[in-house]
Amino acid sequence: MTNLPNIQILQHESILLWENPMRDPHIRHLPVYIPPGYDSKRKEPYPTVYLLSGWSGRGSRYLNDEGVFSKSLPALLDELILAKKFEPVVVIFPDGGTRLGCSQYINSISNGPYMDYLCDEIVPFVDANFHTHKNPLFRGIAGHSSGGFGALVTGMLRPDCFLYVCSSAGDSWYEYLYTHSIPSMIRVLEKDGGVQTFIEKFLQNPNPLGLLPRDHVETMMNLSICACFSPNLSIPLLKGDLYFDVKTGERISEVWKKFLAWDPVYMIDKNIANLRKLQWIHLEAGTEDEYSLHIGHRQIAKKLKTYEIDYVLDEYPGKHGGHHYRFGDRFQKMVKKMYSSSENSL
């Protein structure tokens, strides 16, 4: 009989998220993957990888059974570690979800300080409860979509915490990502009677991701980013300023500048010194990504190359979803880089 992967579910009470403006819970479950043969008393502590989920997801989404035709991520990790494809690693699945979808894992006056929550609360909490390296030379961060963005910008802003980054189709190239759907968003908002009414209806739906049309979900997804990049506590429900005019579709210049300030393509210019500290930057996306995030990654890679910052850019036949099977290869590359980098640095 095959042993099931060892997943421990911890409960973490956050001080930083206490009484956040969105009234999201400050007490959250924190799933942690424990590798086969884990020994809390062994001489060598374990490396860690923090895996961030995309929009509307919690970290626990990565634990899902993918069905009979593919392995779950924990089962895949077990298989690869037992086959000695890479050293055992502890994997943490944080919850960065908010009422409107996702925090983007950044600090925002509307959502709360989610990057601080991750780096200054979750990381020390994990290190206190497991036999893990306290050195960022053995700590990586990865994610997909919004989680890929979160991994990339956390690496840019907090290399004191994470030195290895993997972005799977991470949000980027905002000139396309947040503008190509403006016409359909206007149609949805006009039909539903405006932003506030739309959000109210969306939140009241018992299963909006399953029951509502794609253009409604994308409208909610794009609106929710306003609380992240252009927070405004005076705006009901949305708690953020819109980046476009709901009548004409024109971008609102002063708000759009705030969005672009969080586009990884442009963030590179202001965070060169931090990026040079990183030991590993891995960009990966499908060549048929519906949001063209593979093209965003190409722009990031071009900018990194301009500054002579090392990176790895991988593309594969595939769309935005259906990528979980690739995390095995992503983990293998990252963990091997941890050990080779540490040998050269310690």
- Does 276 share its domain with 164? yes
Produce one character per residue of 199-226: b if its CB has 16 or more CB atoms within 10 Å, e if not: beebeeeeeeeeebeeebbbbbbbbbbb
Q: What is the pLDDT of residue 1?
A: 45
At residue 30 the predicted structure's pLDDT band, cuts being 50, 70 and 90, is: very high
- Does 183 share its domain with 166? no
Give the count of alpha carbons within 13 A of 15, CB side only: 4
The full DSSP string for 194-208 is SHHHHHHHHHHSSSH
Count of other CB atoms within 10 angstroms of residue 317: 7
- Does 103 share its domain with 210? no
CA atoms of 335 and 86, how far apart (whole Å): 7
Q: What is the pLDDT of residue 2?
A: 62
Q: What is the pLDDT of residue 250?
A: 98
| Count: domains in the chain | 2
- Does 239 share its domain with 325? no
The answer to whether residues 15 and 117 touch, using CB atoms and an 8 Å cutoff, is no
- Does 13 share its domain with 116? yes
The answer to whether residues 104 and 145 touch, using CB atoms and an 8 Å cutoff, is no
Placement of tokens 């927070």 in the chain: 231
Mean pLDDT of the chain: 96
Q: What is the pLDDT of residues 6-24, one digit of tens each?
A: 999 999 999 999 999 999 9
200 located within any domain: yes
The answer to whether residues 238 and 199 touch, using CB atoms and an 8 Å cutoff, is yes
Q: What is the pLDDT of residue 3?
A: 81
Q: What is the pLDDT of residues 172-227, one digit of tens each?
A: 999 999 999 999 999 999 999 999 999 999 999 999 999 999 999 999 999 999 99
Q: What is the pLDDT of residues 234-277, one digit of tens each?
A: 999 999 999 999 999 999 999 999 999 999 999 999 999 999 99
Q: What is the pLDDT of residue 290?
A: 97
Q: What is the pLDDT of residue 235?
A: 98
pLDDT at 108 over 80: yes
Rounded to two decimals, what is the model's pTM? 0.97
pLDDT at 122 over 70: yes
Residue ending a domain, among 260, 275, 298, is: 260
The answer to whether residues 105 and 50 touch, using CB atoms and an 8 Å cutoff, is no
pLDDT at 346 over 60: no
Percent of the chain having pLDDT more than 70? 99
The answer to whether residues 89 and 44 touch, using CB atoms and an 8 Å cutoff, is no
- Does 144 share its domain with 183? no
The residues near 88 (Cβ < 8 Å, ≥ 6 apart) are 35, 36, 37, 38, 46, 81
- Which domain range does residue 23 map to? 6-171+267-345
